[in-house]
Structure formats: structure tokens, C-alpha cells
Structure 1
Amino acid sequence: MTELAENGQRSDALPLGPDSLVWKYFGDNRMYLIGPRPAVLQNMLAELGQGVLDHSVFFADTAARVKRSIPPIMMTVYGSDDDAEGHEVRDFHRDIKGDMPDGRRYHALDPETYFWAHATFVEQVLYFADTFVKRLTDEEKERIYLESKTWYRRYGVSDRPMPADYAGFQRYWDRMMDQIVIAHPTAKYGVGYVTKGFPRPKGVSPTTWRVVYPLFNPVAAFLTTGGMPPRARDLLELPWGPRRERAYQAFAAAWRSAPVNWTWNRLPMTVRYNGFARVGYGRR
């Protein structure tokens, strides 16, 4: 089902490391501002959403799935070619297979399915940086994409669906959003709390949650819905409108402003980056 890819640096890609833009942005703690964008978009591919529906603990214990998935994905980026963290991610998916409602077979390691999951992370980096840090130049977008090719090849799966350059990735992304993704039940579940309200997290006392809930829910709904592409927002029937869009754009512009960036860049690494990124930067 897979074609093992060489891990070594190739001439059509750029390296990951402390000077790369993927490192600069992927582990930035401001990433929380985009909400669950990549996870929801992943599950809007029917085959991927079905695999989560059939095999994952996502519905029973969402936090457990996130806790298991994030570390090896992060270390695929902030580790090295020799660490093989990407192979661990790949191997999580070997037995995720089954039947679609129409009788077609699916497998998580199908190249088209696996690359879509990765593409949502690449787009996450691009969207986050361009929306909440600075407007990216075409050269910076190309650089991020070429670095992401090295990232993808660390999984050791077929890179057949991977576009050659950023322009190709843009075409791929537009086609997926316009023609392929659907409002799969898994994706709808992932954003359902936008309208229903978020449940009390484990470890938070009922008393504390009653105090936090009135503020947390509207902010979380705003970030979740605002952080979705318009097409996905429409498919998932998320409440939005011109007034909220203006508020979201103003919110994003404030984060991109020079004073905020100046202040952020002078905060300690422990504030600015998650632990996985700090491990990577610390050993280089």
C-alpha cells in the first residue's frame, strides 16, 4: 500500500531546521488562534473521516487522540531524518482500513488520503503565518511549501500525490476544497460545539467551568468558525456573516501589527514556542 520514500534531502525540496520557516511557525503558540482548522478539514475527506469514525477514540475521548497524535507529528518536523518519528506516525495508520458506505474500500495509507492529511498541516502553517503573523510574500510561501516536502518524505510513504511546487499545491488545494471535501459526520462532530456549547473539560471543576463557560464558549466558537475556509464553513453550515467576518479580520490584523509582533518576539521561548519546538531549537 505504500512506497517507501528516501529520507535524504532531495534537490526539489528545502531542509528543515532552525533557519526554516516551517520550524519558525509550526510550533508557535499563537497557532491556537486558528482553532481546529486542520483537524476539521482532514475529516472532510470522506475516506479519512470514515477511518476516524470507524477506528478512532476521537468521539469517546478526543483529548486522548490529540495527546497520542501530536507528539510524533511535531517531532517529525522538529526531529531529524534519522529519528524516524514520521515512521511512527505512518505505522499508527497501517490497520486503519474498512468499507465506505457505498461499498468502496478505504485505507489510511492510500497515498491520496495520507497526503491530504499532510496538506492540511502545510496549509495550517501558511494560513496561520499569513493571517496572524505577517503577510507572506510569494517567495516565503514557496519556501514553506518546499520545506514541507522534506517533512512529508519523513513519513516514508509514497509522495506520488505531492505537487512539485507551491503553485501546484495551490491548484491541488483549490480542487480539494471545491470538488472533493464533504460535510462528513466526523467533521460535523468536530465543530458541533460551536452551536451547542463546549462541554466541561476533564480536570476542570464544575464551579470553575460555570465561571469560565460564558466567556470561553463565544471565543472558542469565534476562533473555530472564523478559522475555517469559507467553503468549509458553508458545507458544515457554521453560523457566520459579514459582521463577524469584519470582526475576525480586525482581530487578525491586530495580531499582525508591528507592536504585537515586537512584543511577542521579545518574550521567552517558553512562552512563544511549544515544548517540541523548543527541543528542536535547543539541540541545534
Structure 2
Amino acid sequence: MTSTTDFDTNIREAEAAVVDDADIDSLDLRLGADSLIWKFYGDSRGLLGFQRLAGTENCIEQLAQGVEDHSVIFSDFLGRARRSGPPIMRTVYSDSPHTWGHRVRDFHRDIKGTISDGSRYHALNPELFYWAHATFVDQVLFITDTFIRRLSYEEKVQIFEESKIWYQLYGVSARSQPQTYEEFREYWDSMLERFAPTRTITYATGYLRKGVPGPAWMPKPLWRIASTPLNAALHIVIVGTLPPQMREVCDLDWSARDQRRFDRFAGFMRRINPLINRLPITALYVPWAAQAWAREGIDPRPLHNG
């Protein structure tokens, strides 16, 4: 893994560092039904971590600037999410993981520009691309351990090791990738200290500070009354998933009382996991994952229940 100094230096190279497709294809890399990532990544409860995933990504200035410069986040926030998520899901769950991994990588070939200090960025610079991947690894670890069931240390190690295969499928240099789970935790903590109040993340979390905007047809005073319980629930459930560093840069209030409420909600979700696990696979998993389990002819519900 690169040191902090190496990260600061290398991310400013702003050059794509890709791996030859033939070299990747020859390895026959893929995740499968025996992996913990298959079991947990596509679980529908992962939607509870959408703000943690998208938010932590965009608290790093270079990535947030790339989103601002090259996407439609400010005009079509939900549309961007719908377009970005499925190709990454298919890299894990399709029967053509290399094809989809290369496609995700190639989406980013022309995403480059400059940040506030005048230095350049490139989405396929390994330090920046790995950070984006790391937020997905964190999502699997955090959401599973918080809302599904507690993971053992060995399972966390396994998920991290599987995430290295996942990253290889994209075909971007792994020079900045931590090599052990312990290194990943150190890397993650160091990245949290780099968080900044970027324009992208300030915009994306506006609904958590100002409340969810109401429908155009409803009078504003009525919506303020009707939305009070909704905004209170979102505050606990969504802000509760965010790292403290992100709450700080996004100016999101959080108290010890809020934390206790979040902990009770998370504990309730883990307790009802046996009941949720009885749902039809098409309800328990997002479509791309449900289709993959059906293709394999495997019922994932009895697997890896701890």
C-alpha cells in the first residue's frame, strides 16, 4: 500500500494506469455463489447505505470534481445513480464479469480536469479509482455488519480478499490497493481525514439538512407538517450510517441521543434478519443479484447465515 506522501504525489499524476485486457481475461477472474460478496452485496438492505456509499466517494475533492464536471448530478441526481449502479452490479453478478468490468473502467477514460488548487485529476489514476472501489467494499462490510448480522473477523478478511478480485476485473493498476484487511482499515481511516465539503456532497446531502422537498401540488405548510416524521426517520437512519467526518463536513447535526436511536434501529434490523431471510429472492435481492442466483440455480437464503 502506498504511504500518505505517495498518495498525495501519485493522485496528482492524473494519468490513466490501465492493465492490458488480455492479461485480465487470461486470469479467468470472477466472484461466485460461494463468495460473501455475492451473498451480501446485492442484498436489498444495501439501499440503506446509499448515502454512505455515494457520500464518502464525493468527500474526496478529485472524485467530487469529476462528478461535477462530467455528470448530470445537479440536474438528474437519481438518474445518475440508476445509470451508475447496474454496471458495477453486473461486474459482480453477470456471467461476463470481465466485459462489465472493462465497461465500467472505459466509462471513465475521459473523466479528467483540475481541482481548486489547479492540480489535475484523472478518474483512472489508480489512487482515485481505488478510492471509489473502496467505498463499495466498505458498503458491503458496514451494511452487513450493521443491518444484516454481525460479521466475524475472518469473514471481514474474506470479504476484503474477495474485493481484490472484484477490483482486478476493472483492469486498473492495483498499485494503491491495500494488501491485507488491516491495511484496508488503516487506509480507510486515513481517507476519512481527507474529507472536504465539496460542492457535490453539499448538494447531495441537502435533503438531510433542509428536509425532503415536497410534491409541487401540495401546499408547503401542509408538507412541512406531513414530512416531519419522514425527515426525522431519515435523519436517524441515513445520517446514522455516515462516518463522523462526513457528518462534520456536511454540517449534519448528530447527538448521543441520535446515536442511541440509530443503534436501536440497527439492532432491530439484525434481530429480524431470520424473518427477512424468508422473503422471496426477488424481494431479498436487487434484480441483478436475484437473476444471478437464479442462473446458478442456488437459493442463497440458507448460505452464510452466521
Tell me if both proteins adopt one fold, taking TM over 0.5 as the criterion: yes
141 and 268 in structure 1: CA distance in 2 versus 1, 3 angstrom threshold = same
The structural deviation recorded for 1:15 is 5.4
Amino acid paired to 1:263: L
CA distance in 1, matches of 2:238, 2:97: 36
2:106 aligned residue: 91
Residue 236 (1) aligns with residue 276 (2): no
> 1:12-44 deviations in whole A, cap 9, x for unaligned?
xx9511121111111111112234101010001
1:143 aligned residue: 158
Deviation at 1:94, TM superposition (A): 1.1
Q: 1:26-41 to 2 correspondence within 5 Å?
A: 26-41=41-56
Mapped contact 1:35–1:223 kept (Cα < 8 A): no
Aligned residue for 1:95, secondary structure, equals coil
Instruction: Extract unaligned runs of 5+ from structure 2.
Output: 1-15, 297-306
Q: In structure 2, how many angstroms separate the alpha carbons of the residues matched to 1:139 and 1:162?
A: 20
Corresponding letter in the other structure for 1:247: R
Q: Look up the equivalent residue of 2:157 and give its one-letter code.
A: E
Aligned with residue 197 of structure 2, among 176, 183, 188: 183
2-structure distance, mates of 1:4, 1:105: 22
Over 3 Å counting, the alpha-carbon distance change for 1:9 and 1:269 in structure 2 is farther
Describe how 1:33-182 pairs up with structure 2 within 5 A: 33-80=48-95, 82-178=97-193, 180-182=194-196
Q: Percent identity?
A: 44
The answer for the alignment partner of 1:277 in structure 2 is 289
Distance 2:17 2:218 in 1: 47
Name the SS of the counterpart of 2:113 in structure 1. Answer: strand
Contact in 2 for aligned 1:52/1:186 (Cα 8 Å) = yes
Corresponding residue to 2:238 among 207, 224, 228: 224
> 1:194-209 alignment to 2 at 5 Å?
194-200=208-214, 206=218
The amino acid of 1:230's aligned partner reads P
Instruction: Tell me the distance in 1 between the aligned counterparts of 2:61 and 2:112.
Output: 13
- The gaps in structure 1 that reach 5 residues or longer are none
1:24 counterpart residue number: 39
Q: Is the 8 A contact 2:18 2:124 kept in 1?
A: no
SS class of match (1:36): helix
Could you tell me which amino acid in structure 1 is paired with residue 170 of structure 2? Answer: Y
- Aligned equivalents of 2:112 and 2:88: distance in 1? 21
- Which has the higher mean CA deviation after the structures are superposed, 34-43 or 112-121? 34-43
Displacement of 1:115 after TM fit? 0.5
Letter in 2 for 1:7: I
Q: Which amino acid is the alignment partner of residue 276 of structure 1?
A: W
Inter-partner Cα distance in structure 1 for 2:40 and 2:97 = 22
Paired letter, 2:80: R
State the secondary structure of the residue aligned to 1:267.
Answer: coil
Q: Is the 8 A contact 2:25 2:98 kept in 1?
A: no
Is the Cα contact below 8 Å between 1:49 and 1:187 reproduced in 2? yes
Q: Point out the more displaced range, 270-279 or 183-192.
A: 183-192
Q: Deviations over 1:129-186 (max 9, x none)?
A: 11111111110000000111111111111111111111111111111112x2222121
C-alpha separation between the residues in 2 aligned to 1:278 and 1:236?
Answer: 35
Compared CA separation, residues 235 and 82, structure 1 to 2 (3 A)? closer
- SS at 1:123's partner residue? helix
TM-score (norm 2): 0.84
Aligned residues: 276
